[in-house]
Amino acid sequence: MTWHVTSDVSAFAENAGSFLRSSPVRHTVLLTVTAALLSQGPHVYGRSDPILGWWTSESGEVRGALLQTPPYPVTLTELPPEAVSAAAAALSPYPLGAVNLLAGDAAAFIDAWLARAGGTARTGRETRLFQLDVLIPPDPCPPGAARLATPGDRPLLIGWFRDFHDYIGEQPEDLGALVDDRLGHGGIVLWEADGVPLSMAVHTRPEAGMARVQYVWTPPEHRRQGFAAAATTAATRNALDAGATDVVLFTDLANPTSNALYPRLGYRPIEDRAVVEFSR
């Protein structure tokens, strides 16, 4: 039983790919990030090399995986209990700032990491993964209509992506590249009325039949009018039309509005995750 850690994206995909595809809903982030690293290069999310790993059982079966594209936290899949503390040992050569893992695994990882590295730990953002069951459009539907974003919307989109990342407390190195990638596969949906964009929802490319809705954003002056629900519904339909059989999204557990909204649209909770931040 051991962790194998590398920065070789092809080796990671070859060894952990089948495991990730075995549960595309729960492995949504690792699947989409790995696909981007393979298609756009290992530094698509930042200048530092990615950190990639897979856990093998005594029989050699892959039973877990981890991935980090600095400066983002290390993301871990669901793991066997013995692999949680072993992950702390496998990551000890690296400057670990934060991990994103199942809420139930947080205490064991914290204990193992602090025993090795010292310092302190605090729980940061807590999220819930939802999976679409049956799409239920908002009723009544707000004024306006959905349309796909175009390159002409790029300045607006960069601003909205920046506002979204400010809200969640992180900033990518290249917002323009993020926007261009989503525009490239027709994954940005705007809800607009009278020619004015009011809300946005985005979805990833389908991977192993799964697409993730993300970047649901409505400027403060347009909130509480149903535009986010309409945009999310339209983005969900667009993902299904693009070939997804499973559509998922994450909510911030500190945001009661979104946690109430998505079940009304037909999404059902799957698992809770937590970001644990470390300091020395």
Digit-by-digit pLDDT tens for the chain (280 residues) are 899 999 999 999 999 999 999 999 999 999 999 999 999 999 988 889 999 999 999 999 999 999 999 889 999 999 999 999 999 999 999 999 999 999 999 999 999 999 999 999 999 999 999 999 999 999 999 999 999 999 999 999 999 999 999 988 877 778 999 999 999 999 999 999 999 999 999 999 999 999 999 999 999 999 999 999 999 999 999 999 999 999 999 999 999 999 999 999 999 999 999 999 999 8
| pLDDT value, residue 157 | 98
Does the residue 125 lie in any domain? no
Does residue 94 sit in the same domain as residue 151?
no
Amino acid at 122: R
Cis peptide before 71 (omega within 30 of 0): yes
Last residue of some domain: 63, 84, 118? Answer: 118
| pLDDT value, residue 168 | 85
Does the residue 277 lie in any domain? no
| pLDDT value, residue 171 | 75
- Classify 247 as helix, strand or coil: strand
Does residue 137 sit in the same domain as residue 266?
yes
Does residue 181 sit in the same domain as residue 221?
yes
**CA torsion, points 165, 168, 170, 171, in degrees to nearest 10?**
0
CATH number for the domain harbouring residue 190:
3.40.630.30
Does residue 145 sit in the same domain as residue 259?
yes
Does residue 153 sit in the same domain as residue 237?
yes
- Residue the block writes with tokens 């299904």: 240
Does residue 98 sit in the same domain as residue 160?
no
Does the residue 165 lie in any domain? yes
- As for how many domains the chain has, the answer is 2
| pLDDT value, residue 265 | 98
Does residue 15 sit in the same domain as residue 89?
yes
Does the residue 243 lie in any domain? yes
Domain of residue 77 covers: 2-118
Give the N- to C-terminal CA distance of the chain in Å, as an integer: 29
Does the residue 225 lie in any domain? yes
| pLDDT value, residue 6 | 98
Does residue 27 sit in the same domain as residue 79?
yes
Last residue of some domain: 87, 118, 149? Answer: 118
Does residue 12 sit in the same domain as residue 105?
yes
| pLDDT value, residue 46 | 85
And the tokens for 270? 């799957």
Does the residue 126 lie in any domain? no
Does the residue 276 lie in any domain? no
User: Quick one: DSSP state of residue 45?
Assistant: S
| pLDDT value, residue 57 | 94
Does residue 144 sit in the same domain as residue 235?
yes
Measured distance CA(174)–CA(165) in Å, rounded: 12
| pLDDT value, residue 169 | 81
| Cβ-proximal residues to 62 (8 Å cutoff; 6+ apart), any chain | 15, 16, 18, 19, 54, 55, 56
Does residue 152 sit in the same domain as residue 250?
yes
Does residue 81 sit in the same domain as residue 193?
no
| pLDDT value, residue 173 | 74
pTM over cut 0.85: yes
Last residue of some domain: 74, 96, 118? Answer: 118
| pLDDT value, residue 209 | 98
